[in-house]
Amino acid sequence: MKDYIRRFFIAGIMALCVSLLFLGGKHSKAAEPKISELTEHWVWPADGVITDTYGTRSGQHKGIDIAGDSGSPVYAADAGIVSRSYYSQTYGNVIFIKHNNQTETVYAHLNKRLSAQGEIVSLGQKIGLMGSTGDSSGVHLHFEIHAQAWTPDKINAVDPSVAFGMGEVGQAVNAAARTENAREVSARPSNFNSGQITNDSGETYHIVKTGETVWTIAAHYNLQPGDIASLNNINPDRILTGQKLLIKPGNFSEYTVKQGDTLTSIAKMHDTTAEAIKELNNANSDVIKIGQILIIHKK
Ligand SMILES: [Zn+2]
């Protein structure tokens, strides 16, 4: 009889362990989307040059600064509802927008606010004009992204350069440059069949559909899975539906001007001419700035 009870207990403990394992597995939380995925379709909120980045000023700077022309447009990075539009002693004329994916963005030091609290704004909509109001020492947009609602301690702030995939001091940013991407993402028809997109620069992209893997996509384009993984710097086992993958690089590349460069040296490096680079970049003079991004036509 004792033996029977012991066996009963052992069986019971084993059953408990198995059910705990099962419950543990069932309740393991799905990975939260990364900020770069939530903001994939966003546009830069202004045209200009990045003059300060996230985390500077002893970690107190919870946004990114974009310097541009006084009175130039400030755009909603994504569609949403204006949660606040007011004058603050520090932010100056400021607009807050709450987006559908729970993120909230802040546009500060505006010369003029063009959207009122409660207004529904679309992606890329002009919501204000760049200025230097509030605690600001020059014309610029101070832009913040919060993964959840803005709080006074800015605990939910995230680095906009992570969201946008770029954003170093001296880099030129342009709202329209991301608009094409934004248009593709927001205008994806529900019967989006091929998933293939080719833009004006000759780049081909593929938007991942449900059930696709890097292997099936590679086979479709006569590529190896490793080609797609290295082109996009991704783990081929981890792609998401809706993700935009580069399939074929375009005929243009970007070059960031470095110390000691001249237009001629850059041209030589790329087997092109200074005149061709100037024309492509709408430049009238030979003056280039360190950090400036030049579009170069590939031979
Ligand atoms: Zn700032």
pLDDT tens sequence across 232-256? 888 888 888 777 888 887 777 778 8
Question: SS3 for 14?
Answer: helix
Show me where the domains of the chain are located: 38-175, 188-248, 252-297
The yes-or-no verdict on residue 13 having pLDDT over 50 is: yes
Give distance in angstroms: CA of 77 to centre of ligand 1: 16
- pTM reported for the whole predicted model: 0.54
245 forms beta bridges with 206
Give distance in angstroms: CA of 180 to centre of ligand 1: 27
| CATH architecture group of domain 252-297 | Roll (3.10)
d(C-alpha 29, C-alpha 27), whole Å: 6
Domains 188-248 and 252-297 share a fold: yes
d(C-alpha 255, C-alpha 275), whole Å: 16
56 forms beta bridges with none
pLDDT of residue 271: 86
Higher pLDDT, 223 or 78: 78
**What is the per-residue pLDDT across 161-190, written as a single tens digit (0 to 9) for each?**
988 888 888 888 888 766 555 555 444 443
Among all chains, which residue has been given the structure tokens 């430049």? 283
On whether the 38-175 domain is CATH 3.10.100.10, my answer is no
Higher pLDDT, 182 or 283: 283
Give distance in angstroms: CA of 65 to centre of ligand 1: 5
Give distance in angstroms: CA of 127 to centre of ligand 1: 18
Arithmetic mean of pLDDT over the chain: 82
pLDDT of residue 180: 56
Give helix then strand counts, H and E, for the chain. Answer: 8, 17
Give distance in angstroms: CA of 172 to centre of ligand 1: 16
d(C-alpha 141, C-alpha 67), whole Å: 6
d(C-alpha 258, C-alpha 289), whole Å: 8
Fold of 188-248: Membrane-bound Lytic Murein Transglycosylase D; Chain A (3.10.350)
Of 291, 273, 295, which Cα lies nearest the Cα of 282? 295
∠ CA 238-149-42 to the nearest 5 degrees?
50
Give distance in angstroms: CA of 117 to centre of ligand 1: 22
